[in-house]
Structure 1
């Protein structure tokens, strides 16, 4: 049986509402889970995910938007809290290669497309405009190149003729909530 003290400590970086953060926390509370969310960091003061972290008694911090300041403080907090994995969940910044090297632990990201297709932003609009039959989400390792790290897991969904960017985003977000926890458990 996995005990709380034996669970791997995870930090989640957010910039917004924190729906993937919520899903990771919920999954971490299952008895079979091998990880616990121990730290939440945001580069936005009003990120709703910070409130969710507070409600769940998880250490959480807003760190100034300037990337170098964010990265330096984040590295200190990761070390102090003995974090073993970082999950980017709606974190709208690109981490520097220096941060990735200094962290020295796996960094995961979730992206709302079937990588390597549609790297970057506006994936749902671009998928519909390109008339793709399928879209989905990808959890991957973070490296120096945008949305280019080794893929851990993908979840696929059919794009319906009736879909628009909003409806597609909503369907894919549900997949993300499942995929992120699965990917995390898979690499532990």
Structure 2
């Protein structure tokens, strides 16, 4: 399985996926391309250091979201990508992109979806006063953070938590959850029926 990574920042979930491939936790998979909309993304620099194929595409150079996404899809296709992993990619992808890789794009979000979609999920959770938070790996569809849920990891919210401390604990679970989801896909162990994703 050839994986395409899309990122905008440090790429910590990308690193977690790569580490799981390198140590044999995820078998029969390789990272075929790492694409970023930020030239100074730390994750892109790390991918270059690792000798992976990297692509920088400035969205400001394109006339609209779909035109940009068509260029991304072109690069993914040229790299023979089977699965697209959004790893801190700070852009909403177009319906065109979703259609080209239907049920083959996954994302991780720092909340127990459908609670607290969008930005600042950890702050939303603290402001709401929830007792548990966590992260969700899900398929990507045309709406924001609304695709079928693959798996979730839970963390307790402490009385003295700040946005930073809660985010750090959730991130630890993200680094477990995302590679696990990729492994299940690589092993062909997911069956999707509507909104329900079953692990075989």
Q: Which TM-score bucket, shorter chain as reference? A: over 0.9
The structure 1 residue matched to 2:6, chosen from 9, 13, 29, is 13
Cα separation, 2, equivalents of 1:138 and 1:95: 18
**Structure 1 match to 2:164:** 166
Q: Does 1:24 align with 2:44?
A: no
Does the CA contact (< 8 Å) of 1:87 and 1:107 recur in 2? yes
The structure 1 residue matched to 2:143, chosen from 131, 134, 145, is 145
Does the CA contact (< 8 Å) of 1:115 and 1:147 recur in 2? yes
Q: Does 1:41 align with 2:35?
A: yes
Cα separation, 2, equivalents of 1:169 and 1:18: 15
Q: Deviations over 1:130-152 (max 9, x none)?
A: 11000000000000011010000
Secondary structure at 1:58 match in 2: coil
Q: Can you give the 5+ residue segments of structure 2 that lack an aligned partner in the other structure?
A: 187-200
Cα separation, 2, equivalents of 1:121 and 1:112: 9
The structure 2 residue matched to 1:131, chosen from 109, 117, 129, is 129
Cα separation, 2, equivalents of 1:33 and 1:185: 5
Does the CA contact (< 8 Å) of 2:33 and 2:54 recur in 1? yes
Aligned pair count? 181
147-156 or 24-33, which deviates more: 24-33
Residue 120 of structure 1 and its aligned partner are, at CA, apart by 0.5
**Structure 1 match to 2:91:** 93
Does the CA contact (< 8 Å) of 1:15 and 1:91 recur in 2? yes
Residue 69 of structure 1 and its aligned partner are, at CA, apart by 4.1
Secondary structure at 1:50 match in 2: helix
When the two structures are superposed, what TM-score results if normalisation uses the length of structure 2? 0.87
When the two structures are superposed, what TM-score results if normalisation uses the length of structure 1? 0.92
Cα separation, 1, equivalents of 2:3 and 2:68: 18
Secondary structure at 2:135 match in 1: strand
Q: Which runs of 4+ in 1 moved over 2 A?
A: 66-70, 102-105
Cα separation, 2, equivalents of 1:105 and 1:78: 15
Q: Can you give the 5+ residue segments of structure 1 that lack an aligned partner in the other structure?
A: 1-7
Cα separation, 1, equivalents of 2:35 and 2:68: 9
